[in-house]
Amino acid sequence: MTQDELKAMVGRAALAHVVPGELVGVGTGSTVNHFIAALAGIKDRIAGAVSSSEASTARLTAAGIQVFDCNAVGELAVYIDGADEIDARGHMIKGGGAALTREKIVAAQARRFVCIADESKRVEVLGRFPLPVEVIPMAAQRIVRQFAALGGQATLRLADGAPWVTDNGQHILDVRGLTIADPPAFESEVNQWPGVVTVGVFARQRAQLCLLGTADGVQTLTY
């Protein structure tokens, strides 16, 4: 199976974790796009969605699924999203699609995080995938130096030669060369650096369950 077929398989499998009659939190990315396509088939059985990005909002709306603002709703039963890496405890690196801040916000509003990922995303230790960090632009170069002191090489994410601008109007640093042995401690430390909006380590908002797409089918991992 191709990686995209594995993503489609777990996108469909995630429907089993959507609670009928309730709102569902929806992440961002190519795996989630498969989930949204599947969700469209049961849209009359859910109350709607809370979205983690402008891109997912556009897809949900086009599929006829009503999108609610976080502030207009209470706790969500479940948040379903992909990951760039996931370790054996459900800690993740996220933000490859630059939506990490809203993803963390919606995840924090949900009782359960269900991660949908193909098997290439499973790792022993987080850090092989360049860590996305959303930053306030005026702080970017100091934060680059702070990562250098930890052994990381941070670069500004670009689009067509200009800084990538997130849905929140901020910039993204991608940090290579890190080995994140203690994700909760790392997340807490980097979160406190002035100018960091969101670090793409999801340890506090870790997954409770992962639907992992493998050549042998969907594996369900619980944490």
Q: Which residues bind ligand 5RP (CB under 6 A)?
A: 27-31, 81-84, 94-100, 103
Nearer CB in complex with ligand 5RP: 81/174: 81
Cα–Cα distance measured from residue 106 to residue 60, given in angstroms and rounded to the nearest whole number: 15
- The residue to which tokens 């795996």 are assigned: 31
Nearer CB in complex with ligand 5RP: 82/195: 82
Smallest separation, CB 149 to ligand 5RP (Å)? 26
Smallest separation, CB 21 to ligand 5RP (Å)? 26
Positive or negative: CA dihedral 116, 118, 124, 125: negative
Nearer CB in complex with ligand 5RP: 11/152: 11
Smallest separation, CB 126 to ligand 5RP (Å)? 13
103 is catalytic: yes
Smallest separation, CB 103 to ligand 5RP (Å)? 6
Cα–Cα distance measured from residue 71 to residue 165, given in angstroms and rounded to the nearest whole number: 24
Nearer CB in complex with ligand 5RP: 80/144: 80
| Catalytic residue chosen out of the listed positions 103, 119, 124, 187 | 103
Neighbours of 112 (CB within 10 A): 16
Sequence-distant (6+) residues with CB within 8 A of 174 are 130, 131, 132, 133, 154, 155, 157
- Catalytic residue list: 103
